[in-house]
């Protein structure tokens, strides 16, 4: 592992970001040691971040051998390819399953993430309930896909965490505190039974337990953002 550090692996991130969590999960699954560059917050961006991701100026950025890689799922795929001989593969080996995993990761960012963002920024009870309903609706196709891809195992990737688990599981960093704060369940046995059980398995996984942001701290983050939105 020391060799990895010498190669220079650095992650520009922030503890509260689900997108950064994706990169951390991938690095951890592959057993890659890295230097963690923690940003101050989401609005004061470091020189290193601005220089490394001049187009989007967003975290996470992975720097490897002095070259930046941007966009969370592109980082996950990069980590999977570069450290391909280490531990398990994150993307499936089968071509069709790889394409499916990429499709659902795209779907999660395209359809699930915006609903969760709405939920985080919801300040009225009505807006919160609407966001929960829409998030649950966006998760329905994933409930179906889980049955097909997990083949009776605990994860989308089968026996262990894979590409879709990382893409969706990272948002449990928001879902769990939102459920706690608002007292409305997004993942419920009567609505999304498979994803509800999957979320429990995901959060109990050793790699995830180590990296998932503390939900009480995340409750404070959501409260802070809502205060910011409501006074903006």
List contacts with a second copy (CB under 8 A).
55, 64-65, 67, 69-71, 74-75, 77-78, 81-82, 95-96, 98-100, 102-103, 106-107, 141
C-alpha distances out from residue 187 to 2, 5, 134, 135, 194, Å: 41, 39, 12, 9, 9
In 81-185, the DSSP E strands lie at none
User: C-beta of 91: minimal distance to a second copy in Å?
Assistant: 10
Nearer to a second copy, 104 or 155 (CB): 104
User: C-beta of 117: minimal distance to a second copy in Å?
Assistant: 16
Nearer to a second copy, 82 or 161 (CB): 82
In terms of Cα–Cα distance, which of 85, 111, 101 is closest to 158? Answer: 101
User: C-beta of 22: minimal distance to a second copy in Å?
Assistant: 14
Nearer to a second copy, 95 or 151 (CB): 95
- CA 75, CA 30: separation in Å to the nearest integer? 13
User: C-beta of 23: minimal distance to a second copy in Å?
Assistant: 12
Q: Based on the number of CB atoms within 10 Å of its own CB, is 76 exposed (0-12), middle (13-18) or buried (19 or more)?
A: buried
User: C-beta of 14: minimal distance to a second copy in Å?
Assistant: 20
Q: Which residues contact 180 (CB under 8 A, 6 or more apart)?
A: 215, 219
Nearer to a second copy, 83 or 198 (CB): 83
Q: What DSSP state is assigned to residue 38?
A: E
User: C-beta of 96: minimal distance to a second copy in Å?
Assistant: 5
Nearer to a second copy, 80 or 179 (CB): 80
Judge whether 82 and 64 are in contact, CB under 8 Å. Answer: yes
Q: Which residues contact 203 (CB under 8 A, 6 or more apart)?
A: 172, 176, 209, 212
- CA 162, CA 89: separation in Å to the nearest integer? 8
Nearer to a second copy, 98 or 130 (CB): 98
């Amino acid at each position: 592992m020391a060799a990895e550090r010498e190669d220079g692996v650095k992650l520009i991130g922030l503890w509260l970001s689900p997108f950064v969590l994706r990169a951390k999960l991938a690095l951890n699954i592959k057993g890659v040691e890295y230097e963690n560059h923690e940003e101050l917050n989401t609005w004061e961006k470091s020189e290193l971040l601005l220089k490394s991701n001049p187009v989007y100026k967003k975290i996470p950025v992975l720097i490897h051998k002095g070259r930046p890689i941007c966009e969370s799922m592109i980082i996950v795929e990069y980590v999977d390819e570069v450290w391909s001989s280490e531990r398990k593969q994150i993307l499936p080996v089968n071509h069709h399953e790889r394409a499916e995993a990429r499709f659902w990761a795209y779907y999660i960012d395209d359809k699930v993430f915006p609903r969760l963002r709405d939920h985080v920024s919801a300040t009225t009870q009505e807006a919160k309930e609407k966001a929960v309903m829409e998030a649950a609706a966006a998760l329905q196709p994933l409930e179906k896909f889980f049955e097909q891809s997990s083949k009776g195992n605990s994860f989308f990737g089968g026996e262990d965490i894979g590409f879709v688990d990382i893409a969706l599981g990272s948002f449990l960093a928001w879902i769990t505190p939102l459920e706690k704060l608002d007292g409305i369940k997004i993942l419920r046995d009567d609505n999304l039974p498979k994803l509800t059980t999957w979320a429990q398995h995901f959060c109990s996984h050793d790699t995830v337990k180590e990296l998932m942001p503390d939900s009480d701290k995340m409750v404070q983050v959501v409260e802070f953002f809502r205060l910011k939105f409501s006074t903006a």
